[in-house]
Structure 1
Amino acid sequence: MSNFRPRAALTSTLLAATVVSGVLTAPGASAVTGGTAATGSFAYTARLAIGSGDRACTGALIDPEWIVTAASCFADNPEQGYSIRAGRPAMTTTATIGRTDLTSTTGQVRQVVELVPRSDRDVVLARLSRPATGITPLKVSTNAPAADESLTVPGYGRTATEWAPLKLHTGSFKLGAIQTDTIDMTGQNGAAVCAGDTGAPVLRATGGTYELTSVTTRSWQGGCFGQDPAETRTDARNVRLDNLGTWIDSTVQAARTTDFNCDGVEDIAIADPKTSVGGNAAAGAVRIVYGGGKGTTSVNQDLDWVPGDAEADDWFGESIDTADYNQDGCTDLIVGTPSEDLSTVKDAGMVDVLYGAQSGIGTGSVKDTHFEQDSGTGSLAGSTPEAGDRMGQDLAAGITSTGDPFLVIGAPGEAIGDVPKAGMAFYVRDSTSIGITTANVSITQDSTGVPGAVEANDQFADSIAADANHIAIGAPGEAIGTDTNAGNVAVFSHTLNSEGRPTPLFGLDQDLDTVAGGSEAGDQFGKSLAMVPYRPSGTATATDSILAIGSPGEDLDIDGVNKTDTGNVLTFKVTAAGTFTQLNNYASGTATDDVTGTSEAGDRFGQTLAAVNTMPGAISTTATMMLAVGITGEAVGTATKSGAITTFSLLGAPSANDRWIEAGTSGIPGPAGADQQLGSSIRYTGTKLYVGMPYGPATSGALHALPMSNTTAGGTNTAITTYQPGQGGLPAGGGRFGYAAR
């Protein structure tokens, strides 16, 4: 058990001249001398146990998933500075929040899985493995405290008489000098910031509650247990937070990035399902490019830790998604292989979760969780793989609003009884919060409350979208009345019903009075889906969703002329209460509107969709809610099926926020060529729109990462990043590089 001691003061002057570092000590030794806090008070205060029992700090919960504390808590040598690397903590860190008495079981215990430090002052934002529910986060003040203002500091650990007390303590302090980055304070009535209390919240009273002004970083520790009795100074220095609001908001409220090696730098997974592996044509692979110049790797079924074998026409990576499924701070890759043969059963399909780790994907102690029918537990174990099931054709992965990881896996070719290609989805969820270890259930149109009926060729779960709040499952082959392939969409919440399935909320089809248009044969309503969390003004969190539904087979009357299969997209707001309202109807332009483009027969506007809320923790705006629509059949000049993309805001009028993208624009290399089908592969992150061009012009395909400014109305084009086989450390060759990207 180590005990970090303070450096000797170089002078006897106050903190403005020389400051002794706050000290990291034995577990529990991180408290302010003063009175014991009332049971349940200051519940947002967090005790941080760092490493193998040799360090402890204090922090404050400022968001259900984020704690603010001092960066020096995580430094190799806290006495020599606060410079630390971003990403997963080097030492295992456990946060206990809302436990005034450490001998009790109240509050929440979470792992810290990501650090986002400042480079200019001793402060860090620490992300929790899952939200700390039932505890109101502390508001960060936007104003500096006033001169001589009284401040309160809660903390755990050492007091005047105890080395490691088991109850939260508080002390009162008087404000001193205010600098640009720091503020000073002096303990009152014997209060002092003691050894190890680094990162404790410094509070100001306002409007009958407390706001967070700063976090402690250094102190003279006068009167603290174990301190030299001759040291009587109770002055301390704190790191200001009131002038860091933009940094805090941009970190806490932002969309999560893909980070397979948990170093705080965005990575990218690029599918090439038609590439050859070990001489097996179209076996498929997923290429990983680590951000920050940390190299590349290739994931395929010839690796001994990836289930299955690389075989011709497997198309490994035909569908992919990402989520921190095991909640360790490293993004995990979910891979669908719907063309996988299981024994002699052709195209039965399977899905794998391939785990990220600090040395890269697949390098951790646990590498994979495998899903296939007639294996594992629950509904998957009770299902029989059949030819053409195509399990994994589409999938969605994420984390629910309660912090549970989930998968929704489509098997649109599944026969229900003797009804061929009716379709089925599997819902997999790990949760201790709802009293289960793993939920693994099937969903069909015969499940209680699911709209529609089991019919041949419905292809239920051909398309899937999900966010933290809701799930949408498309059946583009659904017949509405006598109109075949008209299509419908079922919407669910993550709340499990009495059958252990997600609760069905409602169905959507174009025969409903509340949905624009009318159901017609071949519309394929629900062929593509996208869903993002939505936070309306006046709400505390993003409990609603916006759902976009593509109908690429929609025929539209354009200025009196019928345009077959020109396509359109409808968007809907889905509330936490389970109701819906249609928002917008998107289509290519006409002669009588100012939407960019022209609706033409065969455009298939809405064949693919991508959506993002770049700041899901903030009130949603036209700038943060984005939609990209793939128009794969678009002819550019004489180049048929060259393809195009139109981007919109999910909020506001389509024509006021649209941007047209074709080859040769927005940084994408041109010119447009026939059958390139630009828009067949699109994916938003919080910072980029990834545009795959698996059908050329490059022989093996390519992927282009477009900065947001290149994709928004009125935005300025800046340099894009292009990924291509044989370049930047990626292996040469391939067949459909850029088919999907996450």
Structure 2
Amino acid sequence: MSGTQRPWRRLAAGAAAAVCLALGLGAGAGQPAAAAESCAGDVESDFNGDGLRDMVIADPQATVEGMAKAGQVHVVLGGGKGSVQVHQSMPNVSDGAEPGDQFGFSLAVYDANLDGCSDLAVGIPYEDVGTVADAGLVHLIFGSTLGIGQGTPDRGFRHGGALAETSEPEDWVGYAVAATRSATGVPYLVIGAPGEDISGKTDSGLVSAVYGTDFRATSFDQDSPGVWEDREAYDQFGSAIVANNNHFVVGVPGESVDTDQSAGVVMAFRTSINTDGIPAPSFGMGQLRAAGSEKSAETGDRYGTSMALIPASSTLGEYLLAVGVPGEDLADVVDAGAVQTYRLSPTGDVAELNWIDQNAADVEGEAEPGDFFGQAMAGMALRLAVGVPGEESSEEHIDKGGVHFFPLGGAPGAGDAWIEPGAGIPSTPASRQLAGISLGVSNTTLLVGMPYGPEGGHAVYGYSKGDSSPVGGIRTWKPGQDGIPLGDGAFGAVVR
């Protein structure tokens, strides 16, 4: 693999081109008045502490104060209280907006200082650190009863600063972020830097954990003690991260398996620090972990490009782990894509469940070249939403995309459902929409971002959690509504 390639950006040629075409304007807005004297606490994504869930919609290609693709994040306040635009040129956020930063490329929400208000970690992998291009940065922006970014000044996490490593070009700190609270209640933020070069191994990747209310940090890679597999060039360790209160799982889609380049693996760690000073390694696996599996690792599969962790049993503490394999070739169908699901116990035991692809028995549709089934995923109750951004239902709408829903119990074809622009997604069908490229989930709603395609069609759609065929009762957020200013670059590229 060439040292100049960035394979984790790979999509179908048309899809990749479409991502680059989105241009627009992002505007700022003032903060609302305080809603309460203290934060309500125990409410998901509640940045102003009023006890209502807020919505987070990133537009990493937004223009901010004339800076193209500087990026901003829209926080839509619960209860119809309007929206707040968060970016690097607002008070209490350090640095300043610069062209191409892509503030909001990744997002994580958690209560970092345990004050009852949610806080927002924003990944900015293309931030220049001094003269070091695309070294990357993560801003932790605090919520308060005055509003997000209006109380405690933000904290920044970058190599050479709060994170120990030296900043280098194209480290891409913040390419992926995930957050949780450990089993003992400790706030926990995990930061991926898949472009980190270590010991001359280009893009081998590095992950950092920031934990506790005093924001201690530790960094580790595949050559750290007890970590599965060895560090190699182009592994891109840290390209994707998901977390629960027992584990976080790191995607390593560039990992070579035997002679198969970019076959991909995933590695799990506990949300506790061991005697080596890093999160305790739990397990690692690729497509051949389960004995007797017929699915083998192949060059370009990119297993671990996306993942989802879905609670399966509140009494047993079990989770369902889904791993996306968007580069999977099915027979002679190149890059059709697939998903593998597992059951994950609190102790780290893993049991293989289902292999899911569009050629499986009774599954709607069929696998086609360049579908990239599994490029993005989100879980809701015991259902899995799988993004298929390269899907096209006719030659008229190339890379229109769509979202496939599957039950996480039983056969994949037992109750699956499909939505796409014009059929379940209330957006006019067009080419290069890449529906399914952006998925998120709250405690009540599956979120489908539509950041690409015709500018007037950029929106986020919310579906009731658990719906097997979510085609009614859809909630819509888009520029010009809910206090969100008009104009955007890629509104909905990340949703939480």
Instruction: Give the TM-score normalised by structure 2.
Output: 0.89
Out of 355, 369, 372, the position equivalent to 2:155 is: 369
CA shift digits 1:55-106 (9 cap, x unpaired)? xxxxxxxxxxxxxxxxxxxxxxxxxxxxxxxxx99666xxxxxxxxxxxxxx
Out of 560, 577, 583, the position equivalent to 2:347 is: 577
Contact 1:609–1:682 at 8 Å: present in 2 too?
yes
User: One-letter code of the match for 1:384?
Assistant: T
Gap change, CA 1:275 and 1:267, over 3 Å in 2 = same
Contact 2:188–2:271 at 8 Å: present in 1 too?
no
Out of 714, 718, 721, the position equivalent to 2:475 is: 721
Out of 34, 37, 40, the position equivalent to 1:114 is: 40
Gap change, CA 1:91 and 1:269, over 3 Å in 2 = closer
Q: Is residue 418 from structure 1 mapped to residue 200 from structure 2 by the alignment?
A: yes
Superposed displacement of residue 595, structure 1: 1.1
Match of 2:364 in 1: 596
Gap change, CA 1:373 and 1:512, over 3 Å in 2 = same
1:303 is paired with a residue whose SS is: coil
Match of 1:650 in 2: 408
Task: Provide the rounded CA distance (Å) in 2 between the counterparts of 1:370 and 1:700.
Answer: 34
Task: Provide the rounded CA distance (Å) in 1 between the counterparts of 2:294 and 2:133.
Answer: 40
CA root-mean-square deviation: 2.0
User: One-letter code of the match for 2:40?
Assistant: E
Task: Provide the rounded CA distance (Å) in 1 between the counterparts of 2:153 and 2:316.
Answer: 34
Q: Is residue 693 from structure 1 mapped to residue 450 from structure 2 by the alignment?
A: yes
Q: Is residue 609 from structure 1 mapped to residue 377 from structure 2 by the alignment?
A: yes
Task: Provide the rounded CA distance (Å) in 2 between the counterparts of 1:541 and 1:360.
Answer: 37
Superposed displacement of residue 267, structure 1: 1.1
Contact 1:469–1:545 at 8 Å: present in 2 too?
no
Match of 2:237 in 1: 460
Q: Is residue 325 from structure 1 mapped to residue 81 from structure 2 by the alignment?
A: no
Out of 288, 298, 302, the position equivalent to 1:520 is: 298
Contact 2:49–2:145 at 8 Å: present in 1 too?
yes
User: One-letter code of the match for 2:362?
Assistant: D
Superposed displacement of residue 574, structure 1: 1.6
2:226 is paired with a residue whose SS is: coil
1:518 is paired with a residue whose SS is: coil
Match of 1:82 in 2: none
User: One-letter code of the match for 2:232?
Assistant: E
Matches within 5 A, 1:253-292: 257-292=44-79
Moved over 4 A (4+): 88-92
2:135 is paired with a residue whose SS is: coil
Match of 1:446 in 2: 223
Match of 2:439 in 1: 682
Task: Provide the rounded CA distance (Å) in 1 between the counterparts of 2:345 and 2:286.
Answer: 18
More displaced, 405-414 or 687-696?
A: 687-696
User: One-letter code of the match for 1:417?
Assistant: S
1:572 is paired with a residue whose SS is: strand
2:374 is paired with a residue whose SS is: strand
Gap change, CA 1:361 and 1:91, over 3 Å in 2 = closer
**Structure 1: any 5+ residue segments left out of the alignment?**
1-87, 93-112, 116-126, 128-255, 432-436, 613-623
Identity %: 41
User: One-letter code of the match for 1:606?
Assistant: G
1:351 is paired with a residue whose SS is: strand
Matches within 5 A, 1:462-501: 462-501=239-278
Contact 1:470–1:545 at 8 Å: present in 2 too?
no
Task: Provide the rounded CA distance (Å) in 2 between the counterparts of 1:658 and 1:513.
Answer: 25
Match of 2:386 in 1: 629
Match of 1:740 in 2: 494
Contact 1:700–1:736 at 8 Å: present in 2 too?
no
Match of 2:282 in 1: 505
Superposed displacement of residue 342, structure 1: 0.5
Structure with higher Rg: it is 1
Contact 1:466–1:532 at 8 Å: present in 2 too?
no
User: One-letter code of the match for 1:484?
Assistant: Q
User: One-letter code of the match for 2:161?
Assistant: S
User: One-letter code of the match for 1:519?
Assistant: A
Superposed displacement of residue 697, structure 1: 3.0
Superposed displacement of residue 513, structure 1: 4.2
**Structure 2: any 5+ residue segments left out of the alignment?**
1-33
Matches within 5 A, 1:161-240: none
Superposed displacement of residue 506, structure 1: 1.5
Task: Provide the rounded CA distance (Å) in 2 between the counterparts of 1:657 and 1:487.
Answer: 29
Gap change, CA 1:700 and 1:280, over 3 Å in 2 = farther
User: One-letter code of the match for 2:255?
Assistant: E
More displaced, 675-684 or 635-644?
A: 635-644
Contact 1:462–1:527 at 8 Å: present in 2 too?
yes
Contact 2:49–2:117 at 8 Å: present in 1 too?
yes
User: One-letter code of the match for 2:171?
Assistant: D
Q: Is residue 556 from structure 1 mapped to residue 330 from structure 2 by the alignment?
A: yes
Contact 1:626–1:647 at 8 Å: present in 2 too?
yes
Superposed displacement of residue 700, structure 1: 7.4
Superposed displacement of residue 288, structure 1: 1.2
Superposed displacement of residue 573, structure 1: 1.3
Pick 1 or 2: higher relative contact order, CA cutoff 8 A, min separation 6: 2
User: One-letter code of the match for 1:595?
Assistant: V
Gap change, CA 1:453 and 1:566, over 3 Å in 2 = same
Contact 2:431–2:453 at 8 Å: present in 1 too?
no
2:308 is paired with a residue whose SS is: strand
CA shift digits 1:24-72 (9 cap, x unpaired)? xxxxxxxxxxxxxxxxxxxxxxxxxxxxxxxxxxxxxxxxxxxxxxxxx
2:413 is paired with a residue whose SS is: helix
Gap change, CA 1:323 and 1:585, over 3 Å in 2 = same
Superposed displacement of residue 714, structure 1: 5.0
Superposed displacement of residue 570, structure 1: 0.5
Q: Is residue 670 from structure 1 mapped to residue 427 from structure 2 by the alignment?
A: yes
User: One-letter code of the match for 2:416?
Assistant: D
More displaced, 269-278 or 498-507?
A: 498-507
Superposed displacement of residue 631, structure 1: 0.4
Match of 2:18 in 1: none
2:365 is paired with a residue whose SS is: coil
Superposed displacement of residue 278, structure 1: 0.8
Contact 2:445–2:464 at 8 Å: present in 1 too?
yes
Contact 1:413–1:459 at 8 Å: present in 2 too?
yes
Matches within 5 A, 1:70-109: none
Superposed displacement of residue 691, structure 1: 0.8
User: One-letter code of the match for 2:363?
Assistant: V
CA shift digits 1:612-639 (9 cap, x unpaired)? 4xxxxxxxxxxx3221110011012221
1:419 is paired with a residue whose SS is: coil
User: One-letter code of the match for 1:599?
Assistant: A
More displaced, 343-352 or 655-664?
A: 655-664
CA shift digits 1:441-486 (9 cap, x unpaired)? 1120001111111111110101111111111111111111111011
Gap change, CA 1:635 and 1:422, over 3 Å in 2 = same
Match of 1:398 in 2: 180
Gap change, CA 1:733 and 1:700, over 3 Å in 2 = farther
